[in-house]
Amino acid sequence: MKKIKIFFLTLLVINFSSFVSAQNAPESFADLAERLMPSVVNISTTQTIVTNVNPFPFQFPPGSPFEDMFKEFSTPQKRKASALGSGFIIDAKGIVVTNNHVIKDAEDIIIRVEGDTEYIEYKAKVIGADPLSDIAVLKIESNDKFLPVKLGDSDKARIGDWVIAIGNPLGLSGTVTSGIISARNRNIGLSRYEDYIQTDASINVGNSGGPLFNMEGDVIGINTAILGREGNIGIGFSIPSNSAKKVIDQLIEFGETKRGWLGVRIQQVTKEIADVEKLDEPRGALVASVAENSPSDKAGVKAGDIILEFDGTNIKEMTELPKIVAQTEVGKTVEVKIWRNKKELTKKITLGRLETSEDFMSERKETDHNISEIESLKITVRILSTKDIEDRKLPKNTSGLVITGIKKDSLLINYLRVNDIILEAQKNKIKSIEDLEIVVNNVLQSDEKTILFVIYNNQNQRRYIGIKLD
């Protein structure tokens, strides 16, 4: 299992409020902000969450023979949950770009657009969404004409350039913030296609999916993530516009993405590996395994090969290869230079489509296991994946939630640890976030307020832990 990073990554939008003192700083962003404001939208979503309500004025103790009767007679109660985000208009017909995590599982999507005197609300529908890049495209359900902005060339953005963001942090519509580009080509472990622009912007809930503008008013990034437990610490990340363009175009045209696929699993070429393989320096991508009947397998690529060049592009770092392959047309035959047995070889490979491959099916499962917060317990969790089961050598039919974070004021802080796996709660198997939330809500509504967990600890030892939730 991949190591859990010591920092907490929150998928929220970037709100630039840090103001860096620098020479030649703009006297004001007012004219630029006024021009761009009508193109930035606020997005609110709703979804239905079902919980079970105890019909009795008491609760049977865990293990009681009447416990099943309680479950039988308990009544499901529906409630609406809402979320806020941001987006921006790229077409006068009302085409809106945002983050996938902003609209994921939404039943209703409302978009608010700045009018002459007040915000105007519209319903919107999803044209297409891509969890791997965290990009979604929406269509405002109206015949009105809207003011679009242009996707700029993010490759021209330089470290130190001024940028502004407009969004909906904490529900505060039309918030304009500023900052600079702090770094380029950042990889923070959210997906295989990472190439983030790092900024010193302040980021808060509700800014996700909003635009990062250069001083010409072009969108050079989609604000996506922050680094920090409690919100802004001056480190935020945006998806570069050049990385997003092809995804957006495909979602508009097809409603889905069509990525190139090699069918290899790769790892970094270390200095030690380069020395053993007599490679001049650590570079390229080491093939750890080749999927059976994949394009690479058919072309004769083998585990242990080092991919040095793909379709005329030198591969300096392992992380470069997936992004280049994904952006290459499905069905295209490309030349791939590899290093094998201390010499360079060339293979011709006809790319498959990632979305129809076995690799993608397993990756979708992994990607869908997003980190979620259980507010009542003050912990964050994700669904146990097949990779977790393999890495930790657990029984194949194991299901549960992996604890990814525990707040200092959580009641569980002295009982559970990060990477513990919650298998059961109140003798109910936990297979989803909703399963745990339902059990916790029932316990909190009871008189005893004691919850019994069954977990696997970090040593994969099965343990029973009872905790009072008051």
Q: Tell me if 86 sits within 8 A of 208, measured CB to CB.
A: yes
Strand partners, 91: 95
- Residue 249 known to be catalytic: no
Q: Tell me if 119 sits within 8 A of 142, measured CB to CB.
A: no
Tokens of 469: 């939730």
Single out the catalytic residue among 17, 18, 154, 208. Answer: 208
- Phi and psi at 250, nearest 5°, equal -70, -40
Helix (H, G, I), strand (E, B) or coil at 271: helix
Helix (H, G, I), strand (E, B) or coil at 369: coil
By C-alpha distance, which of 140, 102, 108 is closest to 11? 102
Q: Tell me if 188 sits within 8 A of 194, measured CB to CB.
A: yes
Q: How far apart are CA 354 and CA 413, in angstroms?
A: 41
Counting every residue, how long is the chain?
Answer: 470
Q: Tell me if 170 sits within 8 A of 204, measured CB to CB.
A: yes
Single out the catalytic residue among 101, 238, 294, 296. Answer: 101
Indicate the helix (H) or strand (E) that contains 32: helix 30-36
**Contact residues for 452 (Cβ-Cβ < 8 A; gap 6+):** 62, 424, 425, 426, 427, 464, 465, 466
**Contact residues for 256 (Cβ-Cβ < 8 A; gap 6+):** 128, 130, 250, 355
Q: Tell me if 218 sits within 8 A of 149, measured CB to CB.
A: yes
Number of other CB atoms surrounding residue 66 within 10 Å: 11
Tokens of 313: 């592009």
- Residue 31 known to be catalytic: no
- Residue 101 known to be catalytic: yes
Single out the catalytic residue among 86, 130, 133, 134. Answer: 134
Three-state DSSP string of 297-354: HHHCCCCCCEEEEECCEECCCCCHHHHHHHCCCCCCEEEEEEEECCEEEEEEEECEEH
Question: Alpha carbon of 211 to those of 70, 234, 240, 358: distances in Å?
Answer: 50, 17, 10, 34
Catalytic residues: 101, 134, 208
